[in-house]
Amino acid sequence: MLTRIQQSYFAFIVMLGAFVCALTAIQLHRFNLLGAQAFDLGIFQQGVWLLAHGYAPFVTVRGWHLFADHFSPILYLFVPFYRLYPHPLWLFLGQTLALALGALPLYRLSLRHTKSHKIATLIAIGYLLHPAIGTMLFFDFHLILLSVPFVLWAMDALDAERPFPFFIACALALLCREDIAVSVACLSLYGLLVQRKQWAGAMGVVSVAWFLFATKTMALFAFFPLFSGSFTLFALPNYAVLALSDWRAMRELGFQHAALIAPWLATSVPLAFRRLLASVRESDRGQWQKVLALTFGLCLAVSFSRFVPHTYKHFFSLTMPSEKAQRIRSFLAQTIPPDASVSAPSQFVPHLAHRRAIYLFPNPFQRAGYGPSPTTLKQLDGRLWVKPLPAKTLHRRMSEKEVTYIVLKAG
């Protein structure tokens, strides 16, 4: 017979496995139904494929170097897998595993503060089921998701007063994207100013230096975060990055940007549990712990049912029926050679991205969201379309550009 602690561990591991399998399957299903897009899956598919084959990672889908938009050396981890089998499965599996593994340091931190395996398991499972976590996986591939377990690991190490794991976790987080330096710097300041750990402050200096190098040289967990004390204050700059942005997707569920604030919100929950339980008599803490757990579970259930199905439906709205998608994928694979240059609509780019030259139509015949320029930045603000060229001009440019195949959707 399993003890209660072993039962908690078992339930936790089963939940992690179910999360990884289910969310990876959902992403593959959307990809197979031609629901994935050039921005951003096609971009990273071509970029990693180029790295895996020894080519310079100039991504023709976007019109600039793979690391020109975000400096993310962690992408090299996917290169050996792409050499073995070039397929977005590795990208999907990587970001899903990353979010799932974030539950491990959160569990350890929660156990330290709540002294209860059941509550720690509940908080970790609540993290996995929170709408802001799972829905980020519905939309293609994004490097910032890979940073989540490392930031949570750093928070756990700082809380446990373990400098070496803290430095390692922060360093790995910084390899994911240059703007993670904001989160690392805030965490370091929290360690320096609140926990009085000078070694934590040193990491803040490193994160600022990394950000300068990389950029110049190269939904809430119920009300619990409000009760986590000074920790929440150091999360505010990360929240401000999202809340003050004029880019609407930064503030919506289902996009990758929630990864910037998710570790802070998740870690604030066990801290809030500890503070709230400390405010009542010791003899009453057992009952209050049950009340808090029930409240947390109720808020999680309401938010999950309210937001997750809606977000799922939104990102699957552009998919095709299974049989039609299968016919199109087979046609593209049989018709277009792997060494051909192609210009195709966004929906087809992920299925043609493993080649040296793949363009998002109407590129390269007409510039649209292509390359680093003021015009591109304006177009990327949700407006990738451009005014159609006259037929004669378009035909002339088609004859001038070295593009072997042009793929268009009927209608």
* pLDDT tens-digit series, residues 47-104: 999 999 988 888 888 888 888 778 888 999 999 999 999 999 999 999 999 999 999 9
143 and 78 inside one domain: no
User: Please, which contacts does 298-306 make with residues 24 or more away whose CB atoms are closer than 8 Å?
Assistant: 299/221, 299/222, 299/223, 300/126, 300/129, 300/130, 300/221, 300/222, 303/130, 303/131, 303/219, 303/222, 304/129, 304/130, 304/131, 306/131
* In a domain? residue 411: yes
273 and 226 inside one domain: yes
The span from the CA of 390 to the CA of 133, in Å, is 45
Count of structural domains within the chain: 2
222 and 270 inside one domain: yes
162 and 239 inside one domain: yes
The span from the CA of 124 to the CA of 106, in Å, is 6
74 and 114 inside one domain: no
Are 102 and 266 in contact by the 8 Å Cβ rule? The answer is yes
221 and 365 inside one domain: no
Closest CA to 60 of 380, 353, 402: 353
* In a domain? residue 92: no
**Look-up of token digits 């799972």:** 134
* In a domain? residue 333: no
**Taking the CB of residue 182, how many other CB atoms lie within 10 A of it?**
17
Q: Which helix (H) or strand (E) holds 402?
A: none
* In a domain? residue 244: yes
Residue 297: which domain range?
4-36+102-315
pTM for the structure as a whole: 0.79
The span from the CA of 102 to the CA of 266, in Å, is 10
Are 292 and 277 in contact by the 8 Å Cβ rule? The answer is yes
**For residue 6, what pLDDT is reported?**
75
* In a domain? residue 242: yes
46 and 119 inside one domain: no
pLDDT band at 215 (very low <50, low <70, confident <90, very high): low
Q: Which two tokens stand for residue 152?
A: 């949570």
Give the tens place of pLDDT for each residue, 6-28.
Answer: 777 788 888 899 999 999 999 99
pLDDT band at 219 (very low <50, low <70, confident <90, very high): very low
* In a domain? residue 330: no
210 and 272 inside one domain: yes
Which position has the higher pLDDT, 351 or 386? Answer: 351
146 and 262 inside one domain: yes
For residue 225, whether the previous peptide bond is cis, meaning omega lies within 30 degrees of 0, is no
